[in-house]
Amino acid sequence: MLLPQEVIRKKREGHELSSEEIAYFVKGITSGDMSDSQIAALAMAVFFQGMSNAETVSLTQSMTKSGDTIDWSELRDSGPVLDKHSTGGVGDKLSLMLAPIIAACGGYVPMISGRGLGHTGGTLDKLDAIPGYQTSIDIDRLKSITKTAGCAIVGQTGDLAPADKRFYAIRDITATVEAIPLITASILSKKLSAGLDRLVMDIKVGSGAFSNTLTMAEELAETIVSVANGAGLPTRALITDMDQVLGSSAGNALEVKEAWSYLSGEKKEVRTDTITMSLCAELLILGGLAKTHDDAQHKIMAVLSNGKALEQFQKMITGLGGPTDFCEKPDSYLKSAKYCEDIYLDRSGYLSAMDTREIGMAVVALGGGRSKPGQEIDHAVGFDRIVPLGTPVDSGIPVARIHANSSDQLERAKTQYLNGLTVADKAPDQASPILKLIEN
């Protein structure tokens, strides 16, 4: 007979848990038979002792089986079911561009996304800036919208990997979020329950990322790719730079506008374009929609230039309750802040470094993120016209523009933003934001 305390003790002592022990524990998490303290104890044991690849695969599969799994068999003759997941960062609005691009290229993208955590923005919070857009829907509607619009970016339903939802909530308040096996199982259980054919991971590394060293990012990427493939989901991972804000904006409505600008061809920030094109290309190749990177890039550029990607974005917005003419006049629907002001440095030189986490926290200070669970956020606030590293600056050149609904918040966030910048006498070396590709 299995006992929770014996499973915890075994992992605490550094021994490998069997698939039966893991399945037993996950079943208890889902049913409520495991107490919060027992779940927290196992999480802490894993945090210190780790898990083997086999254990992590078992945990992922058990958490996947804790709820429903979506069946996309009716779509498979039309195209592959694909997805991208990011470990999060500041200004990361790539999902808003990637999903409609992949849909325009013939894939189906049912993307289960999350809300902001700490200094990182959440895709669902960005989409909440679009009036009427519904991020909370049931599985039947997710399938319907994905089939008709080609993509649907929504939140996790209670029926998909419910064990993960409870496990994560307990990890979040017991300082065990950073355990790589638990991160891996949390991400992949949701992706496997979504019934995907292929997955590409965007593992961020740098001052604005969960992984602040390349070694840590590589370990996470290699674990996720290995476990995903072991669980039957072909997966690749790109390790990408998060040592500066991604794109030219940080803040929910502002990032939606930047995503629209990219899809409409109005504006493309170089680093955002590089990472978006790379992630989309990997997905198209994995999904059999392109043979080579050149072929993939040609297809991506085609749907951007002929308007099909923007059309898919509008179809998704309309299908999920948003305005039917959002892409014709986004400024009519996205809220604007009361105060809008350029930010200047008091010294000259080259922008050489950025404390990206500090800038993310400045968005939170404006009200654009949460300092406690369930907090209402202000979708209008944040920063745009953010200049990238390497830009020559002086007291007459704005480094960003701040949007705020309170003069006090504006001044605090402006100071916080400027404190996150470093200026040097010479420009820093400019490297590609794509640091590494992790395959099988």
> What is the CATH number for 322?
3.40.1030.10
Q: What is the pLDDT of residues 275-292, one digit of tens each?
A: 999 999 999 999 999 999
The yes-or-no answer on residue 12 being catalytic is no
Residues 322 and 349 grouped into a single domain: no
Provide the whole-model pTM: 0.92
- Lowest mean pLDDT, pick from 147-156, 270-279, 369-378: 369-378
Q: Which of 64, 86, 146, 356 is catalytic?
A: 86
Shortest CA distance to 437 belongs to which of 277, 205, 240, 250? 240
Q: Which amino acid is at 334?
A: L
The yes-or-no answer on residue 83 being catalytic is yes
Q: What is the mean pLDDT of residues 202-222?
A: 92
102: Cβ contacts below 8 Å, ≥ 6 apart = 82, 109, 150, 151, 280, 283, 284
Burial class (CB in 10 A: 0-12, 13-18, 19+), 324: exposed
- Per-residue pLDDT band for 374 (boundaries 50, 70, 90) equals low
What is the DSSP annotation of 327-338?
A: GG-GGGTS---S
Q: Is residue 55 assigned to a domain?
A: no
Residue ranges making up the domain that contains 11:
4-50
The yes-or-no answer on residue 357 being catalytic is no
Q: What is the pLDDT of residues 413-426, one digit of tens each?
A: 999 999 999 999 99
Residues 297 and 344 grouped into a single domain: no
Per-residue pLDDT for 369 more than 90? no
Beta bridge partners of 120: 117
Residues 382 and 300 grouped into a single domain: no
In the chain, the N- to C-terminal Cα span, in Å, equals: 38
- Per-residue pLDDT band for 175 (boundaries 50, 70, 90) equals confident
Q: What is the mean pLDDT of residues 385-410?
A: 95
Q: What is the mean pLDDT of residues 61-75?
A: 92
The yes-or-no answer on residue 85 being catalytic is yes
Beta bridge partners of 236: 200
Residues 111 and 142 grouped into a single domain: yes
The yes-or-no answer on residue 165 being catalytic is no
- Per-residue pLDDT band for 77 (boundaries 50, 70, 90) equals confident
Residues 236 and 294 grouped into a single domain: yes
Q: What is the mean pLDDT of residues 137-160?
A: 91
Q: How many domains does the chain have?
A: 3
- What per-residue confidence (pLDDT) applies to 118? 59
Domain end, chosen from 281, 303, 330, is at 330
Q: What is the pLDDT of residues 92-147, one digit of tens each?
A: 999 999 999 999 999 999 998 876 655 666 889 999 999 999 999 999 999 999 99
Q: Which of 186, 193, 223, 272 is catalytic?
A: 186
Dist CA 55 CA 6 (whole Å): 16
Burial class (CB in 10 A: 0-12, 13-18, 19+), 310: buried
The yes-or-no answer on residue 73 being catalytic is no
Q: What is the largest CA-CA distance in the chain?
A: 73
User: What kind and span of H or E run contains 269?
Assistant: none
CB-facing half-sphere around the CA of 429: CA atoms within 13 A:
2
Q: What is the mean pLDDT of the chain?
A: 93
Q: Is residue 294 assigned to a domain?
A: yes
C-beta separation of 290 from 299 below 8 A: yes
Domain end, chosen from 315, 330, 345, is at 330
Q: Which of 58, 65, 83, 176 is catalytic?
A: 83
The yes-or-no answer on residue 123 being catalytic is yes
Q: Which of 60, 64, 65, 84 is catalytic?
A: 84
Q: Which of 93, 115, 126, 190 is catalytic?
A: 190
Residues 9 and 106 grouped into a single domain: no
Residues 157 and 295 grouped into a single domain: yes
φ/ψ (deg, to 5) at 51: -140, 145
3-state secondary structure of 95: helix
Domain end, chosen from 330, 357, 392, is at 330
- Per-residue pLDDT band for 267 (boundaries 50, 70, 90) equals confident
Q: Residue 14: which region, alpha, beta or left (left: phi > 0; alpha: psi -120 to 50)?
A: left
Q: Which of 30, 56, 58, 85 is catalytic?
A: 85
Q: What is the pLDDT of residues 314-333, one digit of tens each?
A: 999 999 999 999 999 999 99
E-assigned strand segments in 55-197: 82-86, 109-113, 151-155
